């Protein structure tokens, strides 16, 4: 069975939110690529401390990406998820068939958190 690398937002999200997004993206990828796919487990629950954890996790994910036959990631208009953008670029650069989906469709919690944060700093406060 071919392997799928899923790139989705992880920062400031719970494991349940991340896994929910990954399940949704897995189903989308199977529909887009037209076959059943095995997901490469990219969620790292406890990265080592004492270093830049985001960069360490990105390095580990790039290693995992080398095993992928297909890639699915997010398109984030605000470009807030740098790791996702780098994974997406790496997949394309190294010829891994790729598909991106707008963040709004697979991570509503992220979109809602952004809207809440924006309202907090709005001059009208609503």
What percent of the chain has a predicted confidence (pLDDT) above 70? 94
Q: Give the residue carrying structure tokens 């944060």.
A: 117
Q: Is 113 helix (H, G, I), strand (E, B) or coil?
A: helix
Residue 3 backbone dihedrals phi, psi, to 5 degrees: -105, 145
Q: Which two tokens stand for residue 38?
A: 């095995």
Q: Give the residue carrying structure tokens 């609503």.
A: 126
User: What pLDDT shows up at residue 47?
Assistant: 87
Q: What is the pLDDT of residues 74-117, one digit of tens each?
A: 998 887 889 999 999 999 999 999 999 999 899 888 878 877 77
pTM score above 0.85: yes
CB count, 10 Å around CB of 122? 9
CA angle 118, 111, 23 (to 5 degrees): 160
Q: Mean pLDDT for the chain? A: 91
Q: Which two tokens stand for residue 1?
A: 């069975």
């Amino acid at each position: 069975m071919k392997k799928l690398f899923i790139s989705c937002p992880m920062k400031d999200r719970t494991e349940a939110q991340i896994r929910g997004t990954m399940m949704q993206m897995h189903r989308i990828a199977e529909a887009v690529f037209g076959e059943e796919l095995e997901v490469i487990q990219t969620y790292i629950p406890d990265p080592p401390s004492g270093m830049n954890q985001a960069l360490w996790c990105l390095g580990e994910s790039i290693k995992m990406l080398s095993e992928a036959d297909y890639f699915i990631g997010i398109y984030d208009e605000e470009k807030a998820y740098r790791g996702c953008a780098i994974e997406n670029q790496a997949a394309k650069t190294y010829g891994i068939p790729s598909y991106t989906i707008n963040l709004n469709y697979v991570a509503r919690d992220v979109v809602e958190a952004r809207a809440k944060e924006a309202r907090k700093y709005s001059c009208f406060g609503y």
